[in-house]
Chains A and B, each alone.
Chain A
Amino acid sequence: MAIPRIWRQIEEKYNLVGTLCKDCKKKHFPPREVCSCGCYDLEKYRFLGKGEIVTYTVIRISSEDNEDTPFRNIPYVLAIVRLDEGPSLTAQIVQCSESELMIGKKVEMVFRKLLEKGEKGVIQYGYKFRIA
Chain B
Amino acid sequence: MVGIISWGSYIPRYRIKVEEIAKAQGADAVVIKESLMISEKSFPDIDEDTATMAVEAGRITLSSSAISPEDISAIYIGSESHPYAVKPTGTIVAQALGMGNGYTCADLQFACKGGTAAIQVAYYMAKAGLNVVAGAADTAQSAPGDILEYTAAAGAAMFLVGKEKVCAEIKDTVSFSSDTPDFWRKPQKKYPSHAGSFTGEPSYFRHVMSAAKMLMKKNGTVPKDYDYAVFHQPNGKFPSRVAKKLGFTEKQISDGMLVTRIGNTYSAASLLGLCAVLDIAKPGQRILLTSYGSGAGSDSFDILITENIIAAQKSRKTTQSFIEDKVYGDYLKYLKRAVR
Interface residues in chain A, defined as those with a beta carbon under 8 Å from any beta carbon in chain B: 10, 14-15, 46, 71-73, 94-95, 97, 110-114, 123, 125, 128
Q: Which of B48-56, B73-81, B257-265 lies on the face that meets chain A?
A: B48-56
Q: Smallest CB–CB gap between B69 and chain A, Å? A: 10
B47 and A128 contact, CB distance less than 8 A: yes
Check: B217 CB closer than 8 A to any chain A CB. Answer: no
> Could you tell me if B337 and A73 are in contact, using CB atoms closer than 8 angstroms?
yes
- The count of A-to-B residue pairs whose CB atoms sit within 8 angstroms is 44
Question: Residue on B with the closest CB to A13?
Answer: B96
Contacts of A94 in B (CB 8 A): 45, 47
Q: How far is B12's CA from A95's CA once the two chains are assembled, in angstroms?
A: 10
0/1 string, B1-34, CB within 8 A of A gives 1 = 0000000000001100000000000000000000
B96 lies within 8 A of A15 (CB): yes
- Tell me which residues from 309 to 340 in chain B have a Cβ below 8 Å from any Cβ of chain A: 327, 336-337
Nearest neighbor of B327 in chain A, beta-carbon distance: A95
| Interchain nearest-CB distance for A23 vs B (Å) | 26
Among B56, B83, B98, contact of A111 (Cβ-Cβ < 8 Å):
B56
Interfacial residues of chain B within 34-91, with CB under 8 A of chain A in the complex:
45-49, 51-52, 55-56, 59, 83-84
Q: Which residue of B lies closest to A123 (CB)?
A: B83
Residues of A within 8 A of B84 (CB): 123
* In the complex with contacts A73-B336, A73-B337, A110-B51 CB distance below 8 A: no
A125 touches B98 (CB 8 A): no
The residues of B that contact A73 with a CB separation of less than 8 Å are: 46, 336-337
Alpha-carbon distance between A112 and B84 when the two chains are bound, in angstroms: 15
A111 touches B52 (CB 8 A): yes
Chain A positions within 8 Å of B48 at CB level: 112-113
Once the chains bind, are A112 and B98 in contact (CB under 8 Å)?
no
**Within B256-293, which residues are at the interface with A (CB < 8 Å)?**
none
* B47 with A114: CB separation less than 8 A: yes
The verdict on A10 contacting B55 (CB below 8 Å), with A71-B46, A72-B46, A95-B14 known, is no
Contact B52 A113 (CB under 8 A): yes
B residues less than 8 Å from A113 (CB atoms): 47-49, 52
Give chain A residues whose Cβ lies under 8 Å from the Cβ of B14: 95
Closest to B48 in A: A112
Q: Which of the residues A10, A14, A71 comes within 8 Å of B47, measured between beta carbons?
A: A71
Partner of A110, one of B56, B83, B92, B98: B56
Cβ contacts under 8 Å, A125 to chain B? 51-52, 92, 96
In the complex where A73-B337, A125-B52 touch, is A112 in contact with B95 (Cβ < 8 A)? Answer: no
B143 to chain A minimum Cβ distance, whole angstroms, is 19
Within the assembled complex, what's the spacing in Å between the Cα atoms of A111 and B337?
17
In angstroms, Cα B199 to Cα A30, docked, is: 51
Selected from A10, A72, A112, the residue in CB contact (under 8 A) with B52 is A112
Beta-carbon contact of B92 and A95 below 8 Å: no
How far is B49's CA from A103's CA once the two chains are assembled, in angstroms?
Answer: 29
Residue with the highest number of chain B CB atoms closer than 10 Å, among A15, A94, A113: A113
A10 to B95, CA, bound (A): 8
Q: How far is the CA of A123 from the CA of B48 in the complex (A)?
A: 12
Do B95 and A14 touch (CB < 8 A)? yes
Encoded as 1 (CB less than 8 Å from any A CB) or 0, chain B from 183 to 222 comes to 0000000000000000000000000000000000000000
Q: Are A14 and B96 in contact (CB under 8 A)?
A: yes
For the complex, give the distance between the alpha carbons of A114 and B211 in Å. Answer: 41
Complexed CA–CA distance, A14 and B96 (Å): 5
**CB of A109 to closest CB in B, whole Å:** 9
CA distance A114 to B48 in the complex (A): 10
Q: Chain B contacts of A72 at CB under 8 A?
A: 46-47
Q: How far is the CB of A47 from chain B (nearest CB, A)?
A: 13
Most chain A beta-carbon neighbours within 10 Å: one of B14, B84, B95, B96 = B96
Which chain B residues border A10 with CB–CB below 8 Å? 95
User: Which chain A residues lie closer than 8 Å to B47 at the CB level?
Assistant: 71-72, 94, 112-114, 128
A72 to chain B, nearest CB (A): 6
The residue of chain B having its C-beta at the shortest distance from the C-beta of A109 within the complex is B59
Q: How far is the CA of A128 from the CA of B95 in the complex (A)?
A: 17
Q: Which of B14, B52, B92 has the most CB of A within 10 A?
A: B52
